[in-house]
Structure 1
Amino acid sequence: MEKSKSKVLIVGGTGYIGKRIVKACLEEGHETYVLLRPEIGMDIDKLQILLKFKEEGAHLVEGSFSDHRSLVAAVKLVDVVICPMSGAHLRSHNILMQLKLVDAIKEAGNVKRFIPSEFGIDPSTMENALEPGRVTFDEKMIVRKAIEEAQIPHTYISANCFAAYFAANLSQMGTLLPPKDNVVIYGDGNVKVVFVDEDDVAKYTVKTIDDPRTLNKTVYLRPSENILTQNELVDKWEKLVGKKLNKINISSTDFLASLKGLEFNEQVAVGHFYHIFYEGCLTNFEIGEGGEEASQLYPDVNYTRMNDFLKRYL
């Protein structure tokens, strides 16, 4: 007899990754709940997304981070909680939202898996990250500590580089489109980077929730054919368009010098680019006992290769 699938609550279901996770949950046959926050106010776009989810079979459950009882009540409806809030919600006072959710899960006492808002670089490997960008990793580790001290069963997802933000633009900063003539190459362009289609991030995430192999572990999304250097990524695009781009190499020293005079959020972004494209922070370590690699666990997921992903931009 097939094991029944978990009931899942998604907090942040209208967000960039959240809406994809809702879709993946429904496609996998999970009874899916999406938190409807009163703070949505007059945001008609988010409301329409939520109503669409409802039409597709999701349940909308009201709850607010300013109302602890409502969060506990929502959590008690399900077995699994996924919180794919955007990185912006892990800054300054907004980190409290995740910690309030942890408190609600702890009090409810019924959750068998919690997947918090990470979905990027593994923060446990970034203790020596540059300021001010390290704030992103430090705050995620605060949430991890709270989860583990509360003894909440969990899975952390390290999704590495979202393809729409890092691959489509050939890893150029300040644009989401491929360059037409000139492309900036970080260092020699030979550092290995991991690019993952955002829909695949959602598919792999949902696969983990009923899998005992991923309990209390970090799941790294490293699909083998998407581990590419920047040079290899650029080469794929050049072959697609039938044109060579002018490469402009920038040294690590010059790249770091560009931090001066930038706004805080820009400094954070530049710092992250440095760690990814100069230090190779996504691939310069082996996955240990506390981790698993998603494409090996779930070979049935036909993930999007970057050559196919780039074709969208022709």
Structure 2
Amino acid sequence: MEKSKVLVVGGTGYIGKRIVKASLAQGHTTYVLHRREIGCTSDIDKLQMLLSFKEAGARLVEASFDDHRSLVDAVKQVDVVICTMSGVHFRSHNILQQLKLIEAIKEAGNIKRFVPSEFGMDPARMGNAMEAGRVTFDEKMEIRKAIEEANIPHTYISANCFAAYFCGNLSQLGTLLPPKHTAYIYGTGNVKVIYMDEDDVAAYTVKCIDDPRTLNKTVYLRPQQNILTQRELIAKWENLKGIELQKITVTADEFLASMKDMDFVRQVGVIFYYHIFYEGCLTNFEIGDDGEEASQLYPEVHYTRMDEYLKRYL
């Protein structure tokens, strides 16, 4: 079967650059959208990344979210659009810019699959999220509503916890490195969490785009060996490092009280952690008929286990 032509929107971002590489590696003709302003001096890193994509075989497409016609023209060149805007979910205003992309896809009328920018918790299951973090989920659901009302073929990706943000630091807030002496344990520390290597997120995402089994469904990235409690994750690090960390338990009330003097962005982060580590929002449900699990669909993907991931921090 001929592989789809893929347009990556947000290709220089945290997940986007991985999606570009995965798309090329899996043999797709890959286009990367870039802004007309990319040549300004402040964007030199992004420009160099785009040029490296071009050297690897990607095609660069110039368009602007403020120019509807340019978006339509870009979309018409491909079969699949993968949007990876706003890898940092706090920048929620970027999420809603996808409404412009949806309008372009709707007008172009040729797209076989659209993957919107989600890649975290499933927003459809976060209707009861606490206020500071809820806006992100509400806006993602607004995007879903627009996609479905426009009858655009789609796949939603629920990638759970990116390892660089949640694994390497043993899920400690405020750092990206493993603690040297003390680890804070959220509640019992026995809630199941799902940790994902970001390159594996990209590999699974690209696998989905030509698969009829994932059409108009949510694909959950839940590889069995990466479903771990916080205590299990810490134990893996202690075993690799040959140490034993002091562990301090943080109750739910203490954890939420820590938000009192934080700015909005940090409050959002605390709320996400609360839903993940205290409520178990990633694993407290069964995948129904409207979803699929990626590692079962694609057993050929050799995903990175977290003990292997942690070795880079030794």
TM-score (norm 2): 0.98
Q: Contact (CA 8 Å) 1:118, 1:157: kept in 2 or not?
A: yes
Secondary structure, aligned partner of 1:277: helix
Note the C-alpha offset of 1:96.
3.7
Which residue of structure 1 lines up, in the alignment, with residue 268 of structure 2?
268
How far apart in 1 are the matches of 2:87 and 2:136?
8
Which residue of structure 2 lines up, in the alignment, with residue 224 of structure 1?
224
Which residue of structure 2 lines up, in the alignment, with residue 75 of structure 1?
75
Read off the aligned partner of 1:28 and give its amino acid letter: Q
Aligned CA distance change for structure 1 residues 84 and 95 (closer, same or farther; 3 Å): closer
Counterpart among 16, 19, 22 of residue 18 in structure 1: 16
Note the C-alpha offset of 1:127.
0.2
Aligned CA distance change for structure 1 residues 110 and 166 (closer, same or farther; 3 Å): same
Q: Contact (CA 8 Å) 1:91, 1:139: kept in 2 or not?
A: no
How far apart in 2 are the matches of 1:53 and 1:31?
12
For residues 280-306 of structure 1, give each alpha carbon's deviation from its aligned partner in whole angstroms, at most 9, with x where no partner exists: 000000000100000000000000000
Which residue of structure 1 lines up, in the alignment, with residue 118 of structure 2?
118
1:197 corresponds to 2:197: yes
Q: Contact (CA 8 Å) 1:192, 1:280: kept in 2 or not?
A: yes
Q: Contact (CA 8 Å) 1:90, 1:139: kept in 2 or not?
A: no
Secondary structure, aligned partner of 1:132: helix
Note the C-alpha offset of 1:94.
3.1
Q: Contact (CA 8 Å) 2:92, 2:136: kept in 1 or not?
A: no
Which residue of structure 2 lines up, in the alignment, with residue 302 of structure 1?
302
1:39 corresponds to 2:37: yes
How far apart in 2 are the matches of 1:93 and 1:276?
23
Q: Contact (CA 8 Å) 2:193, 2:282: kept in 1 or not?
A: yes
Which residue of structure 2 lines up, in the alignment, with residue 50 of structure 1?
50
Which residue of structure 1 lines up, in the alignment, with residue 208 of structure 2?
208
Which residue of structure 2 lines up, in the alignment, with residue 166 of structure 1?
166
How far apart in 2 are the matches of 1:258 and 1:89?
21
How far apart in 2 are the matches of 1:39 and 1:88?
22
1:312 corresponds to 2:312: yes
Which residue of structure 2 lines up, in the alignment, with residue 237 of structure 1?
237
Note the C-alpha offset of 1:78.
0.2
Read off the aligned partner of 1:145 and give its amino acid letter: K
Read off the aligned partner of 2:2 and give its amino acid letter: S
Query: Any gaps of 5 or more consecutive residues in structure 1?
Result: none
Q: Contact (CA 8 Å) 2:171, 2:230: kept in 1 or not?
A: yes
Which residue of structure 1 lines up, in the alignment, with residue 2 of structure 2?
4
How far apart in 1 are the matches of 2:32 and 2:282?
31
Q: Contact (CA 8 Å) 1:118, 1:140: kept in 2 or not?
A: yes
* Bigger mean CA deviation after superposition, 192-201 or 88-97: 88-97
Q: Contact (CA 8 Å) 2:13, 2:87: kept in 1 or not?
A: no
Secondary structure, aligned partner of 1:133: helix
Note the C-alpha offset of 1:95.
3.6
How large is the RMSD of aligned CA atoms in angstroms? 1.0
How far apart in 1 are the matches of 2:298 and 2:193?
21
How many matched pairs? 312
How far apart in 2 are the matches of 1:213 and 1:166?
30
Note the C-alpha offset of 1:87.
4.1
Q: Contact (CA 8 Å) 2:86, 2:92: kept in 1 or not?
A: no
Note the C-alpha offset of 1:89.
6.8
How far apart in 1 are the matches of 2:253 and 2:210?
46
Note the C-alpha offset of 1:38.
1.5
Which residue of structure 2 lines up, in the alignment, with residue 105 of structure 1?
105
Secondary structure, aligned partner of 1:312: helix
Read off the aligned partner of 2:167 and give its amino acid letter: A
Read off the aligned partner of 2:300 and give its amino acid letter: D
Note the C-alpha offset of 1:88.
4.3
Note the C-alpha offset of 1:90.
7.0
Matches within 5 A, 1:173-188: 173-188=173-188
Read off the aligned partner of 2:228 and give its amino acid letter: L
How far apart in 2 are the matches of 1:303 and 1:96?
31
How far apart in 2 are the matches of 1:16 and 1:88?
9
